[in-house]
Amino acid sequence: MKREKKKIGLTTKILLGLVIGFIFGCGLYFVPSGFLKDTLMVDGLLYLMGEVFLRAIKMLVVPLVFVSIVNGAANIGDIKKLGRIGGRTLSFYIVTTAIAISLALGMASIIDPGQNFDLSAAVETEVEIGESLPLVDVLLDMVPENPIAAMTNGNMLQIIVFALLIGVALSALGKKTKYVTDLFAQLNELMMKIVGYVMLLAPIGVFALISRTFASEGLGAIGPLIKYFGTVILVLIMHAFLTYGSILKLFTGLNITTFIRKFFPAISVGFSTASSSGTLPVSLEVAEKNLGISKNVSSFTLPLGATINMDGTAIMQGVATIFIAQVYGIELTFSQLLTVIITATLASIGTAGVPGVGLIMLSMVLQSINIPVEGIGLIMGIDRLLDMTRTAVNIVGDSVCTLIVAKKEGEFDESKFRQKENNFNGVAASNLDYQ
């Protein structure tokens, strides 16, 4: 059989980084603590390599979100269309989150992860209780008093609102502000080019982040909490394949497996960084290049999703609530479960797309039904691994909704989605590379 010599694509390289990082990290876990393991590797080389990559993508988030939303809104032009896209996106985000949390509560009630759990073995950990964010505050907080401060603080919702206004105004002004509109279009190109450069670091960055996590956490910590851990992972997988799989099929006729394969570069970055916001630059580019979603839609819906749509986080919160309730021997009533669905959906809106925040927001869910918040201490130790997985689900949710909305608006190029080769970063990667 004749086979052309193939260049290894970026996607394959990232996958290799992930797998090698996992093996290397697990190996390093067993090396006794000391200069070699801690100073040289974990807090030295691995930290440096991972942190450079992380900082490089974080550096892009604020300018990219701002520029891409202004550009997207200016291009959509028609304010009615923008409203329609916004309405559909919000409905999708809220409905899928409510499904996610219901699925989590249902499965956790069947599996009973906290039954027969010996509370005496549990560590007493001081838990930092998150400020609960009533809906009024969430809404009020969307309007920036000072847009520059919003940018320096990385307040995504405020940046989104400000950028939307500029975009809408630019399109209303039309020819009068043509140069400014063109400038934003060019700035957008510029940002995407830089994302491409940063992504060249991804395989090494992913390797370092994953090995560092496993070198310090190992898999041993999961031991006593295996049932809780397994339930969260199971529901995350079910939600990704069943919920997203069926809505994707229903609304677009497309297959979730292909979707996940094509979206893989973003998923791997989400997994290794545990930050939806941090992954945004990559999600935006992969959505356009590999999934065929027009920037007009994704530039607006993906930043919004990375900020308010956290299905994976809601799933963890649902399972954790049942787990903690069972550990404390509390029987939950139907109305308490309903309260959990509502508060977890709101908590997911208020959760920032950065590592670990989901766990802090869990305190708001527990408080809403009077379950001891200290219970969070039980699951803290293994949260990092779950955080990585739920972040991957969070960003898949954002992009599935985005694709559906884009298709409805005629802003989806199906031929790109169906292409065998990935176009991400201009590096061709055969689908077979990572099967």
Sites of contact with ligand ASP (CB under 6 A): 274-276, 310, 313, 351, 353-358, 387, 390-391, 394
Residue 429 CB, nearest distance to ligand ASP (Å)? 25
Nearer to ligand ASP, 215 or 362 (CB): 362
Nearer to ligand ASP, 276 or 399 (CB): 276
Residue 156 CB, nearest distance to ligand ASP (Å)? 11
Nearer to ligand ASP, 289 or 390 (CB): 390
- How many contiguous H segments (helices) and E segments (strands) does the chain have? 20, 0
Residue 358 CB, nearest distance to ligand ASP (Å)? 2
Q: Which residue is nearest to ligand ASP (CB)?
A: 358
Nearer to ligand ASP, 188 or 348 (CB): 348
* Residue of 159, 165, 160 lying closest to 147 (CA atoms): 159
Residue 407 CB, nearest distance to ligand ASP (Å)? 24
Nearer to ligand ASP, 296 or 321 (CB): 321
Residue 30 CB, nearest distance to ligand ASP (Å)? 28
Nearer to ligand ASP, 192 or 274 (CB): 274
Residues 6+ apart with CB under 8 A from 333: none
CA gap 22, 208 in Å, rounded? 9
Residue 280 CB, nearest distance to ligand ASP (Å)? 10
Nearer to ligand ASP, 218 or 355 (CB): 355
* Residue of 91, 128, 106 lying closest to 315 (CA atoms): 106
CA gap 195, 210 in Å, rounded? 21
Q: How many CB atoms lie within 10 A of CB 305?
A: 27
Residue 361 CB, nearest distance to ligand ASP (Å)? 8
The single-letter code of the amino acid at 370 is N
Burial class (CB in 10 A: 0-12, 13-18, 19+), 218: middle
Percentage helix, strand, coil for the chain under 3-state DSSP, each rounded to 5: 80, 0, 20
Residue 57 CB, nearest distance to ligand ASP (Å)? 13
CA gap 375, 405 in Å, rounded? 39
**3-state SS assignment for residue 412:** strand
* Residue of 93, 251, 94, 71 lying closest to 163 (CA atoms): 71
Nearer to ligand ASP, 330 or 361 (CB): 361
Burial class (CB in 10 A: 0-12, 13-18, 19+), 28: buried
